[in-house]
Amino acid sequence: MYFLLKSRKTSVRILRTFLLTAVFVFSSAAESKTDEVQIVIDFGVRISIASKILGESRNLYVNVPDGYSKTDKRYPVLYVLDGGNHFNHSVVATQYLQKLDRIPELIIVAIPNNEGTRYRDLSLEKENFILFIKNEVMSYVDKSYLTTGRNTLFGSSSAGSFTIDLLSSEPELFENYIASSPFLNTNNSEIYKKFLKTIDEQAQEKSLYFSLTGQAEEGKGRTNSVNQFVDLLTEKPPKKLDWRYEFLANQAHRTTPYISMFNGLTHVFNSYQAPSLSNYKEYISFGGVQGIDMHYKRRAKIYGTDQYTPESTLLNVASMLLSDGQAETSLQIYINLTVQFPESAQSFSGMGNAYDDIKQYEKSILAHKKAINLADKMDTDWQDLFQNRLDKVNEKVSLLNKN
């Protein structure tokens, strides 16, 4: 259950408690004793809004990034429908993906249902619910929090259908849409025609991810409606819609939201992620280092991040190129990295590998020695790796001298 603490006007903390059982073993008595301790995890705050549009009080669950109160940075917002079911796992998913640098830090705003209002809000009186989201929820969030104006909407099942319908009817509200197991119970061709008309008229490209599992779980009607919609998008995709459909095998209708949250966020924020280049051909097609630099400049304009290419990205690219037989191109990247990051042991070690590959062993040894000197405060695993690379080059030189 939720434990509510520290009431502040219309907001309270949302906490989740877990039970930890610690086992202590006393060798002298040859017996064990357990001690149970509650672990409390803070998911965010609950805020109450007196909605004039709906004529009732509605709650919002809000989670902000770590350090939010200590910065003036602005953040994109993820809005989550059926918030009572999907708030907790959306927080977990976003935090994990942020640590992997797959998505930017987000403010999460979950909209839970009042008892007995779900069908009304998503179907019978959905126009009022749209107005509530647009004029009361989003207006409140933008006034109360540091937002960028870039918004993502997540919905599952009937809320997934609502999400796709909202993309077709009012695409200006959100940039990104994630729909898990939607039932497209209106005419698919009519939704598609709306897509062609409304989305392609937008100044910026929209992004859509939607998913479904097997027909035994979803039902024939839902499966057919989604498949028909996929066919329409495949035959003639809207020019300004970056869409992806994913069939989630071996899932239940109620488990698809969890996977769709991870995969959907990864898709709709693909412009945030580091370039994924697996070979030299893809590297050239992307525009080489210049193309990578342009990617991060575009990302900075969209998300307010640093415009400079991270060292980690270039290290990965240089390593890939070396593995793909492009030692000279790889070496040039490593040389530039050692100039840009003169205290980077990884850059010098990579340069040593590149020199080794083109049989310039003296330069390779110097680079590896430099890496070892710079790694004195790094984990021993790194130090061992750099030493092992140096030892292998020394062994090659020793064999050459013997011959």
- Residue 264 CA to residue 269 CA, distance in Å, equals 8
- The predicted pLDDT at position 2 comes to 36
Q: What are phi and psi of 79, to 5 degrees?
A: -100, 130
Does some domain include residue 179?
yes
- The predicted pLDDT at position 83 comes to 94
Helices (H), 138-219: 138-144, 158-169, 188-194, 215-218
Q: Under 8 Å CB-to-CB from 370, ≥6 apart: which residues?
A: 345, 348
Distances 379 to 102, 229, 371, 376 between C-alpha atoms, Å: 25, 52, 13, 8
- The predicted pLDDT at position 32 comes to 66
Residues 292 and 219 in one domain: no
Residues 162 and 89 in one domain: yes
- The predicted pLDDT at position 109 comes to 98
Residues 253 and 296 in one domain: no
Does some domain include residue 84?
yes
- The predicted pLDDT at position 24 comes to 46
- The predicted pLDDT at position 4 comes to 36
Does some domain include residue 181?
yes
Domain final position from 218, 234, 268: 268
Domain CATH code at residue 394 = 1.25.40.10
Does some domain include residue 33?
no
* Distance linking the first and last C-alpha atoms of the chain: 74
Residues 118 and 159 in one domain: yes
Does some domain include residue 216?
yes
Tens-of-pLDDT digits for all 403 residues of the chain? 333 333 334 556 666 655 555 544 445 555 667 778 777 677 889 999 999 999 999 999 999 999 998 989 999 999 999 999 999 999 999 999 999 999 999 999 999 999 999 999 999 999 999 999 999 999 999 999 999 999 999 999 999 999 998 998 888 999 999 999 998 865 566 777 777 777 777 768 899 999 999 999 999 989 998 998 898 888 888 888 899 999 999 999 999 999 999 999 999 999 999 999 999 999 999 999 999 999 999 999 999 899 999 999 999 999 999 999 999 999 999 999 999 999 999 999 999 999 999 999 999 999 999 999 999 989 999 999 999 999 999 999 998 888 7
Does some domain include residue 183?
yes
Residues 214 and 309 in one domain: no
- The predicted pLDDT at position 8 comes to 37
- The predicted pLDDT at position 7 comes to 35
Number of domains in the chain: 2
User: Which residues of 157-240 form beta strands (DSSP E)?
Assistant: 176-180, 206-212
Domain CATH code at residue 76 = 3.40.50.1820
Q: Which domain holds residue 342?
A: 280-402
